[in-house]
Chains A and B, each alone.
Chain A
């Protein structure tokens, strides 16, 4: 029976919707499906669902841009590369963001300018 209970928990974690918790505890529950590795399941790219398609630089965006706020905020924006660059500076100067190593900063900026440029289509529910 112990084995059965353990399996049950894994299944529950895998298939029930993801709970997103903010600093103040869980006020939001989300229906984004988790990815699963069993052969009968399709892996779902949550970030792509948010509006961040798979491409070079996305990992850097993921790492550096979700320390303080959710990637949902990033995915809403649409800016020129110059404006993204200026925004990084502002966040570093005014909002306590850490400096990003030059290589990673370039990767992140290139990604943002390409996928979240001024002609980006807003993902509307």
Chain B
């Protein structure tokens, strides 16, 4: 039963009189002692939905929706995401649901640091550009559209902690596996154009971003997230102040009605529910810019090693990485031939090659690699592998960037569990 169907089932029972909903869905009519007699077609319907016979069907009370139909955790407007946390909301996409070249809105992961704002309406939404600028600006979304060139680009956003779940010993934070990454089409204006319109003063070295989300504690004025980037990165023409996702309104949990998209760096640089960008002459020190947040040690460390705060450095570009999105891990093949599909991306660089192995890295073959539709879009790869005999195999994918850097075999452990770009492996059985 699809998530949409499940949602509809709940909504029906919420809205309708329960007995009416029963009748509509299952043809079930309640008798006086509140048992719902499922007869004929109704019982068949419920049996089919649950996927098994129901020995105690006669006992089911009116209005009862079997737990089996309650489905996975569902998020409004999202399709198949795995819920890591509901407060704050954090949900990732299973790799096999990321197969589209452009990630649908329903499949874009959600990473919230705090509580979302009360309203996501573009009406009355204002963006302030100030700090060390010649002329502070206060712009509505209509102002942005009117005064700046509007562009649409496919841009890769990845959470800095994607892959954290595989750290041993465990690292603190949301335990993302593979799916805190997406590449949707974003429509907006260039951050660079807006900053230049305000006039960047000579002593500016960093940006600072603010959004309308609120801190989990509820303390007024305390921001859950306020990061920034060096001004050189900020002026990259592929950073957008975005107001559309795949040609539609941005999903509320992806930052509607206005957000930054700063691709190639940790997703936390891409402030959601954007209200302000200000320019500074010091490295920004807002929420989650200091301490160990989005920082890694300034030297390689042993798993579990304690590192002092002063020895941490801010993460800049994300590392080279790839994901096998088809087939789903655990697939079987009867003729030994498997078509492999996936995507690869690398910080501020492009991908030079993707190699595939079916023998645990002993030998490699080159995958077909597509060009990026624009810089910072992920690149699609495919390969046809032939499994030599029946049995269990793993398909490994290894991407190499245009800087000649490949994905490693193992995790470079760091205390906060960032930047796991070790190779993705899926299991396939030739039967």
Contacts and interface: CB of A to CB of B under 8 A. Distances in A.
Specify whether A and B are partners. yes
Contacts of A17: 10, 65, 67, 70-71
Interface string B241-262: 0000000000011000000000
A79 B34 contact: no
Interface string B28-43: 0010001000000000
Contacts of B219: 96
Q: How large is the interface on B (under 10, 10 to 19, 20 to 34, 35 or more residues)?
A: 35 or more
Contacts of B216: 68-69, 95
A43 to B, nearest CB: 14
A70 B90 CA distance: 11
Nearest to A91: B217
Interface in A99-125: 118, 120, 122, 124-125
A20 B217 CA distance: 18
Contact of B18 (A12, A26, A67, A87): A12
B88 interface: yes
A112 B424 CA distance: 31
Interface in B137-192: 165, 169-170, 172, 174-175, 177
Contact of B118 (A11, A24, A69, A77): A24
Contacts of A27: 75-76, 89, 252-253
A21 B61 CA distance: 26
Contact of B63 (A11, A24, A122): A11
Interface residues of A, number: 42
Given A8-B34, A12-B18, A76 B118 contact: no
Judged by DSSP, the binding face of B is loop
A97 interface: yes
A68 B88 CA distance: 9
A11 to B, nearest CB: 5
Given A8-B62, A95-B217, A96-B217, A76 B85 contact: yes
Given A16-B65, A30-B86, A24 B70 contact: no
A96 B67 contact: no
B7 A29 contact: yes
Contacts of A79: 170, 172
B362 to A, nearest CB: 29
Contacts of B115: 22-24
Given A15-B63, A70-B87, A30 B73 contact: yes
Contact of A11 (B64, B89, B177, B215): B64
Q: Which of B70, B75, B165 has the most CB of A within 10 A?
A: B70
A69 to B, nearest CB: 5
A29 B14 CA distance: 13
Contact of B13 (A16, A22, A76, A77): A16
Judged by DSSP, the binding face of A is loop
A69 B87 contact: yes
A8 B86 contact: no
A73 B59 CA distance: 38
B84 A28 contact: no
A118 B327 CA distance: 32
B117 interface: yes
Contacts of A12: 13, 18, 63
Contacts of B128: none
B74 to A, nearest CB: 5
A72 B175 CA distance: 11
Given A8-B63, A24-B115, A78 B253 contact: no
Nearest to B94: A125
Nearest to A67: B217
A119 B84 CA distance: 19
B169 A72 contact: no
A14 B85 CA distance: 24
A31 B72 contact: yes
A17 B70 CA distance: 6
A118 B177 CA distance: 17
Contacts of A73: 85, 87, 174
A40 interface: yes
Contact of B61 (A15, A72, A118, A120): A15
B62 A11 contact: yes
The 9 closest A-B pairs by CB, nearest first: A96-B217, A78-B170, A31-B70, A68-B216, A17-B70, A70-B87, A23-B115, A118-B169, A24-B116
Given A9-B18, A11-B63, A23-B214, 5 more contacts: A8-B63, A24-B116, A31-B70, A72-B84, A94-B291
Interface of B: 7, 10, 13, 18-19, 30, 34, 59, 61-65, 67, 70-76, 82-89, 115-118, 165, 169-170, 172, 174-175, 177, 214-219, 222, 252-253, 291, 304
14 contacts: A4-B34, A8-B18, A11-B63, A15-B65, A15-B67, A17-B71, A22-B89, A27-B75, A68-B218, A78-B169, A79-B172, A95-B217, A122-B165, A125-B83
